[in-house]
Structures are given as structure tokens and as C-alpha cells.
Amino acid sequence: MWKYVVKRLLWMIPVLLGIAVVIFTIMYFCPGDPAAAILENSATPAAIEAKRVEMGLDRPYIVRLLDYLNQVFLHFDLGTSYFQNQSVMSGILYRLPYTVTIAVICMLLQILIGTPLGITAAVHQNGVADRICMVIALAGVSIPGFWLAMMLVLLFAVRLGWLPPYGVGGIQYFILPCIANAFAGIASQARQTRSSMLEVIRSDYIVTARAKGLSEREILYKHALPNALIPIITVVGNGMGMMLGGTVVIESVFSIPGIGMYTTSAINNRDYPVVMGGVLFLGALFSLIMLLVDVIYAYVDPRIKAQYEGQQKSFGRRKKANG
């Protein structure tokens, strides 16, 4: 198992290298000039050109690319923001806790509400409970996050005055953003859980379990749910990755200085180091989360664990045979 993890970690190097080259190339060809962004609107073309030279933006593509790859992969330096004059890594690390807080709370809400909703819907397929759960799920995937966010603000901040409308501070500042952000996730989770559970519930071994006289509860939680977990875990993993990427809309509506705001503001300003550093950091984070998801698969489903171990054994056998 550990060998599999190490192998996957080593695979991350070419993946990140690929991401770095692609994002650098995109930013290079992206229209817009960071030198012009730094200067005032009244700056003359000559002043902008002088700034471009000073920033090294006049150098050829290949020189800048190699310089960037050298800086990132050999010196582990994501560069310095053109605007903040601050290291990109420290900028990301400063903002990460806000994004992580939102992502973790949303994930918990998604798992704790979405999964039971999906199970209830599956168990009562075509019944009233199923319909109610699916209407909630449909609303969740249909209602835009920003609209829900504004509605929540109007109700809980403006009308009732219970919660702050924006900003960061104590946990109360995260309640509205997390509800607004988690709603769609809860819906997806409920739909995925329902469909996985329905598939499993129809399996022969569930029929056998029923025939053996096991209680419905035992069948559900001991036999059906563990077997339905793989697609559910995939949804959770993907969702976590996406949320760590920054929930741009929610961060913008609630003025939360997270990673999403950091990178979108950098895109608008053509702050190349921040955009490239942010994307690279998120690429690494996403790869790690996907690795974690794969490891969880192995723990949830012994067949997958055996598969991983089998791969390593056959690799070992091939090595011996060749050696």
C-alpha cells in the first residue's frame, strides 16, 4: 500500500510540471499587460514600456518559462506578487485557513445532510420521503449560490439581524457563506447517495440478507451502505478539491479573503505570479486529495486494497524475473 502511495506521489512531479508549463503558456498568451495595470490609467505608452522592461516582461517566452520552472521546481519559490510585493506562497498560506474553514464546514454539511437524505430517498423509493428529498436536491442544484447567498443575507442579516452580512471574524461569519455554499453540494450528495444505494439495494446479496431475516437497519448500514460508498466518496473528494480551489462567488459575496478571491483578483490584474502560483498550489492540493480518496477506497473496499497490493506483487515478481 505504501509503495502505491509513494508511486502516486512521484507521479505528481510530471503532473505539476505539466500544469506549470500549461498555466505559464496561457498567461503568456493572455492579452493584457500587468505593467499597464500597475501604472495609473494616465500612464503613457513609453512609461508602460519602461515598466515592462523593468518587470522582465519583454524577455522571450522560452527564457521566461525556463526561469519560472527553475524558480519553482529547483528553488521551491512560487514568486512574488507584482501588486502586493509579497511572496505568493505566503499570500496563499495566509488565505488558505479561510478557504479551508469554509470547505471543511461545507463538506461536513454535505456528508451529514446529503447522505441521510439520499439514503432516505433510496429506501423510500417513489414514496413521499423520496419526493421531498429529491425536490430539495433539485432545488439545491438549481438555485444559484449567489442568489441564495443574497436571500440569506436579507433574511438573517438585514431582517432578523442575527448574523453578520459579510466579513471575517468568529464562527458566526461563516454560517451564511457555508449554508449558501453547501446547498448545492448537499443536493449532489443526496442524488449520488440515492442512486448508489438504489443500485446496491437491488443486489442479490441484499435479497439474501433479507431472506436470512436480518433487520432492515442492519441490512442498510452493514451491507448496503458500505458497498454504496465508493461513488459517494468520489463526490466528496471532488467537492473538497473544488472547494479548496476557492469558492469564488461565495467569497466575493461575503467579502471573505480566501484563495478564490486571491486568484480572481490576480487574474483581473494580470498578476501572473499569483495566478500561476495559485493554480500550481491548487493542482498539488487536488492531486493529494485524489490520492487520499484512492487510499480511502482501499480501506472501504477490501477488493480495491487487494488490487493495489496485487499490482505491487506482480510488479515485484516481474522485477525478480527480469533480475
Q: Which residues bind other proteins (CB under 8 A)?
A: 31-34, 36-48, 50-51, 54, 81-86, 94-95, 128, 131-132, 135, 139, 150-151, 153-155, 157-159, 161, 164-168, 252-258, 261-262, 265, 268-270
Residue 141 or residue 292: which is nearer to other proteins going by CB? 141
- Between 9 and 26, name the residue whose CB sits nearer to other proteins: 26
User: Which residues on neighbouring strands pair with residue 87, listed in sequence order?
Assistant: 80
CB nearer other proteins, residue 194 or residue 223: 194
Dump the DSSP string for 23-82: HHHHHHHSSS-HHHHHS-TT--HHHHHHHHHHHTTTS-HHHHHHHHHIIIIIT----B-T
Q: Specify the residue, 37 or 290, whose C-beta has the smaller distance to other proteins.
A: 37
Q: Is the dihedral of CA 160, 166, 167, 171 positive or negative?
A: positive
CA atoms of 135 and 139, how far apart (whole Å): 6
Q: Is 168 left (phi over 0), alpha (psi -120 to 50) or beta?
A: beta
Q: Which of 45, 41, 190 is nearest to 129 (CA)?
A: 190
Write phi, then psi, for 276 (nearest 5 degrees).
-65, -45
CB of 183 to other proteins, least distance (A): 13
Q: Could you tell me the smallest distance in angstroms from the CB atom of residue 235 to other proteins?
A: 24
Q: How far is the CB of 94 from other proteins (least distance, A)?
A: 6
State in angstroms the smallest separation of the CB of 305 from other proteins. Answer: 43
For residue 214, the minimal CB distance to other proteins (Å) is 32
Residue closer to other proteins by CB (options 74, 158) is: 158
Which CB, 26 or 154, lies closer to other proteins?
A: 154
**Helix, strand, or coil (residue 257):** coil
User: What are the CA-CA distances from residue 252 to residues 47, 79, 93, 167, 224 (Å)?
Assistant: 33, 25, 19, 10, 41
Spatial separation of the C-alpha atoms in residues 176 and 168, rounded to whole Å = 12
Least distance to other proteins from the beta carbon of 254, Å?
Answer: 8
- Minimal distance in Å, beta carbon 155 to other proteins? 5
Q: How far apart are CB 18 and other proteins at their closest, in Å?
A: 26
Cα separation, 9 vs 3, whole angstroms: 10
Q: Work out how close the CB of 253 gets to other proteins at its nearest, in angstroms, rounded to a whole number.
A: 5
Under 8 Å between Cβ of 221 and 119 = no
Question: Nearer Cβ to other proteins, position 235 or 266?
Answer: 266
Closest CB to other proteins among 38 and 288? 38
**DSSP class of 125:** T
Task: Determine phi and psi for 80, rounding to 5 degrees.
Answer: -125, 135
Residue corresponding to grid cell 448500514: 221
CA gap 216, 129 in Å, rounded: 17
Contact 205, 260 (CB under 8 A): no
